[in-house]
């Protein structure tokens, strides 16, 4: 039975490593600017009606002609401008002041770190239980909790590093 237990432990440790590494392969690539490459979109990148088709609440970054950059969620849009809301404040921006509009897509590092902590903690706790339970009559051991904390810590780091970040997609550029 001891040999079977060590095979099970090895399998679970290998599974943990694969699960952690797979987060990096599933993550989006962090890029500063992405412009749609198809011919139809390239022709319309200077068309404000693309901005007007956005729905309220979408994350945007607005680059102004003055060089300033604003980030927030779309509150409203019209043919003369748009409004962003951020932190309880709403900012109105005249269309003539806009240089570029980016749609911000993807997860934040904080959310990815929390997700990694949950996954890592669950896997670590499971490994700790498997290592602790053979031959034990009680569940008061420190091993499961220690492995859960260790797994959560590793998960936070992996989640933050390989979060995929946020990607900006250019949807409007003033001519």
Is residue 73 located within the same domain as residue 95? yes
110-132 tens-digit pLDDT: 777 788 888 887 887 778 777 77
Region 77-95: mean pLDDT is 92
Tokens of 86: 């951020």
Is residue 55 located within the same domain as residue 70? yes
Instruction: Classify strands 166-173 and 34-35 as parallel, antiparallel or unpaired.
Output: parallel
Say yes or no to pLDDT of 44 above 80: no
Is residue 8 located within the same domain as residue 73? no
Is residue 97 located within the same domain as residue 66? yes
Say yes or no to pLDDT of 91 above 60: yes
Burial 11-49 (b: 16+ CB within 10 A, else e): ebeeebeebbeebeeebeeeeeeeeeeeeeeeeebeebe
Global pTM reads 0.52
Tokens of 59: 């994350």
CA distances 100 to 51, 64, 105, 149, Å, are 10, 7, 16, 45
- Domain of 57, CATH number, reads 2.30.30.100
CA–CA distance, 149 with 158 (Å, rounded to integer): 14
Q: How many helices (H) and strands (E) does the chain have?
A: 5, 7
Q: Can you give the residue range of the structural domain that contains 45? A: 34-107+167-173
Domain count, the chain: 2
């Amino acid at each position: 039975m001891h040999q079977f237990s060590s095979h099970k432990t090895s399998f679970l440790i290998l599974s943990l490593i694969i699960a952690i590494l797979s987060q990096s392969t599933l993550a989006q690539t962090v890029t500063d600017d992405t412009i749609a490459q198809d011919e139809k979109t390239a022709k319309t990148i200077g068309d404000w009606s693309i901005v007007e088709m956005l729905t309220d609440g979408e994350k945007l970054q607005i680059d102004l002609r003055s060089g300033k950059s604003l980030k927030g969620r779309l509150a409203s849009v019209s043919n003369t401008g748009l409004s962003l809301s951020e932190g309880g404040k709403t900012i109105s921006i005249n269309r003539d002041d806009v240089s570029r509009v980016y749609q911000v897509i993807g997860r934040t590092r904080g959310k990815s770190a929390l997700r990694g902590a949950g996954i890592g903690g669950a896997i670590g706790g499971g490994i700790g239980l498997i290592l602790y339970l053979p031959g034990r009559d009680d569940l008061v051991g420190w091993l499961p909790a220690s492995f859960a904390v260790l797994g959560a810590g590793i998960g936070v780091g992996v989640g933050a590093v390989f979060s995929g970040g946020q990607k900006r997609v250019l949807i409007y550029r003033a001519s």
